[in-house]
Amino acid sequence: MQDALPAFVLRSEASSTAMNDSPANPQTNAEAHTSSTERQYADHFSDEKLMLAFSQGSADAFSQLFSRYKQPLFGFFRRRLADSSHAEELTQETFLVLLRSASRYQPRALFRTYLYAIAFNMLRAHRRKAVFRATFFGTRRATQDPTAHDSPDANLAIREALAKLESTEREILLLREFEQLSYAEIADLLRLPVNTVRSRLFRARLALRDILKGAAAKAAAATFTESEEQV
């Protein structure tokens, strides 16, 4: 995906300065040194500290968060949507929501839980719009599972197997295996008890294993049949 959002932030700040009709003050040596130091050590800051710094006006902190989460967040949407352009659009919109809500941020939970909660809301809104368009405008509703014509066979088999899981169990499995969220984080996001998350994740893994075994057996049988016909 394109790394466009920090540029958007900079453009917005530039526009705000221009509207004030006051010349921008040149950066002092001390300010330049501070900015350089922030960038140098930003990699060692926790997500929560970066978000707090951003809520207090640090553009460098936002850029660092964007750099850390742009690909994981895009992957989150891409695994759930058929169109990669929609995944990229929702990734950008999620960061925009984060940008606009920064002043209200409180570090009551891990930053990534906070970020994925925003992403879930964006995803649900996107799906509601898709259902509305399909119902009222007769457009074909895209499958929630990403198209995989360009994926290796093993990945395609996994995607097809995931699509057969019950929706909540599929979501729990994706959050645990791909987003690598903890049980507690998944419970917070899906509003489920932690023990429920554990048990449904266990069921999802068993179901996925059985589906993949069945698919492998069918593929082997089909290959054997083809070879017999060629004899």
Is 5 within 8 Å of 95 (Cβ atoms)?
yes
Between CA 18 and CA 149, with CA 2 as vertex, the angle to 5 degrees is 155
Amino acid making up residue 43: D
The domains of the chain, with CATH numbers, are 46-142 (1.10.1740.10), 150-231 (1.10.10.10)
Q: What pLDDT is stored for residue 195 in this prediction?
A: 97
Amino acid making up residue 215: A
One digit per residue, the tens of pLDDT, for the chain of length 231 reads: 656 665 545 454 444 433 344 444 445 554 454 455 555 545 668 999 999 999 998 999 999 999 999 999 999 999 999 889 999 999 999 999 999 998 888 888 889 999 999 999 999 999 888 776 666 555 554 444 444 444 445 567 788 888 899 999 999 999 999 999 999 999 999 999 999 999 999 999 999 999 988 766 666 555 545 554 554
Range 151-187 burial, b when 16+ CB lie within 10 A, else e? eeeeeebbeebbeebeeebbbbbbbbeebebebebbb
Q: What pLDDT is stored for residue 20 in this prediction?
A: 40
Q: What pLDDT is stored for residue 90 in this prediction?
A: 96
Amino acid making up residue 122: M
